[in-house]
Amino acid sequence: MNLITGIESTDLFGGNVPSPVLLLIERTRSGSNDDLAAALWTAVLSYPRCLPPYYLLYKFHANRGELGEAQEVATKALAVAARQASLDSDWCAVQPGDTDFTIPGPGRFWLFTLKALAFISVRRGERVVALKLIAKLRRLDPIDCIGLDVVEALLAQSGSR
Our measurement of the distance from residue 68's CA atom to the centroid of its chain's CA atoms, rounded to an integer in Å, reads 14
pLDDT band at 134 (very low <50, low <70, confident <90, very high): very high
Identify the pLDDT of residue 73. Answer: 97
Mean pLDDT of 35-52: 90
Sorted by where each begins, the domain ranges of the chain are 7-159
The Cα-based distances of 62 to 19, 53, 123 in angstroms read 25, 14, 9
For 37, the 3-state DSSP assignment is helix
Side chain identity at residue 35, one-letter code: D
C-beta separation of 148 from 101 below 8 A: no
Which amino acid, 15? G
Please compute the mean of the pLDDT values over residues 45-55 and round it to a whole number: 91
pLDDT > 70? residue 132: yes
First to last CA, the chain: 33
pLDDT-derived band at 158 (thresholds 50, 70, 90) equals: confident
| CA separation for the pair 65, 12 (Å, rounded) | 24
What amino acid occupies position 132?
K
Q: What CA–CA distance (Å, rounded) separates 121 from 14?
A: 26
The whole-number average pLDDT for the span 41-57 is 91
Residue 16 has pLDDT above 90, yes or no: no
Residues in the chain: 161
Torsions phi, psi for 25 (to 5 deg): -75, -40
Residue type (1 letter), 44? V
Q: Which residue has the higher pLDDT, 27 or 123?
A: 123
Longest dimension (CA), the chain: 46
> What confidence category does residue 10 fall into, taking pLDDT thresholds of 50, 70 and 90?
low
Q: Which fold has domain 7-159?
A: 1.25.40
| Cα separation, 46 vs 23, whole angstroms | 13
Residue 75: pLDDT band with limits 50, 70, 90: very high
Confidence grade of residue 9 (pLDDT, cut at 50, 70, 90): low
77-101: pLDDT as tens digits: 999 999 999 999 999 999 999 999 9
Instruction: Evaluate if pTM is beyond 0.75.
Output: yes
- Is a pLDDT exceeding 60 seen at residue 117? yes
Question: Given this model, what pLDDT does residue 5 score?
Answer: 47
For residues 113 and 123, the answer to whether their CB atoms sit within 8 Å is: no
